[in-house]
Structure 1
Amino acid sequence: MSTTTTVQAPVTTVATPVRRTVWKHGVAAAAAASVVTSTLAALASAAGVSFADQTGASIPILGFTQLTFVFSLIGVGLAAVLARKARRPRATFVRVTVALTVLSLVPDATFGFDVASAVSLMTLHVVAAAIVVPVLAGRLADRR
């Protein structure tokens, strides 16, 4: 009579790195920034800020929503690309977005807006960046 003994090796699982996707959180941040900037623009408009340039054309409140969302999505795309391509995705993303935010202030200062409109527009750019950039940067690795 023969007996067979089966020995089972212990099973070890290796934790796979969690892929920290930027898309879901980025879209949520873009939506939040759009709501906040539109609300602040509406409040500024109600307080007397015209958002009109030298030709008299005024920026509609829905324009704040749309442009904030579109440019925030561009930031999400940038974060996704840097997550795959940059050696230091987080630092690169922060540097690039800070530079782009500063550049976004130039038209507000040069397109003939009155002081209240220009300051309000600049503030809205910074507010949108302050909402979106930290969310996306937090999803990026320090190093690849």
Structure 2
Amino acid sequence: MTATLNATGATTSTVGALIRTGVLAAVAASAATMVVAAVGHAAGVSLDMGGAPIPVAGFGVLTAAFSLIGVVVAALLTRFARRPRRTFVRTTVVLTVLSLVPDVIADAGAGTKALLMLTHLVAAAIVIPAVARRLAA
């Protein structure tokens, strides 16, 4: 009699948990960035960029989209990286820093730029640790 390990079932379960966690983190980050934008706007920070207003919901939509791209990256790293957690954290920190560059050069006031950068950092602070915890060290 021999025992076999069903690696496919274990991988599916791990990837499923990763995706569930990532989606929940994306929802939380989207809500958080909309709150940050709304509070900033209520405090008098303009949400205008290039002469056009950024809707508060736009913060949530873009946060969700890019967060879900991050979840896909994490799922791929689970399959292809030797150290998925380490690779994911390093990659997403670099991408977060790079995401600040357009905010710095945007056609917007200093307060608006700061608010945009804050929303990026808030989203990263929510999504990166949540997803990283689901990845193998």
TM-score by length of 2: 0.88
RMSD between aligned residues: 1.9
Cα distance in 1, alignment partners of residues 31 and 129 from structure 2: 17
Higher fraction of helix:
2
Question: For residue 41 of structure 1, what is the amino acid of its counterpart?
Answer: A
Q: What's the offset of the Cα at 1:20?
A: 2.5
Gaps of 5+ in 2: none
Rg larger in structure: 1
User: Match of 1:40?
Assistant: 36
User: Match of 2:69?
Assistant: 74
State the identity %. 52
Q: Which of 47, 50, 53 lines up with 1:51 in the alignment?
A: 47
User: Match of 2:120?
Assistant: 125
Cα distance in 1, alignment partners of residues 29 and 123 from structure 2: 5
Paired positions, count: 130
Cα distance in 2, alignment partners of residues 120 and 111 from structure 1: 12
Q: Which runs of 4+ in 1 moved over 2 A?
A: 16-21
Cα distance in 1, alignment partners of residues 20 and 117 from structure 2: 27
Q: What's the offset of the Cα at 1:24?
A: 0.4
Cα distance in 1, alignment partners of residues 80 and 55 from structure 2: 38
Cα distance in 1, alignment partners of residues 35 and 118 from structure 2: 13
Q: What's the offset of the Cα at 1:112?
A: 1.7
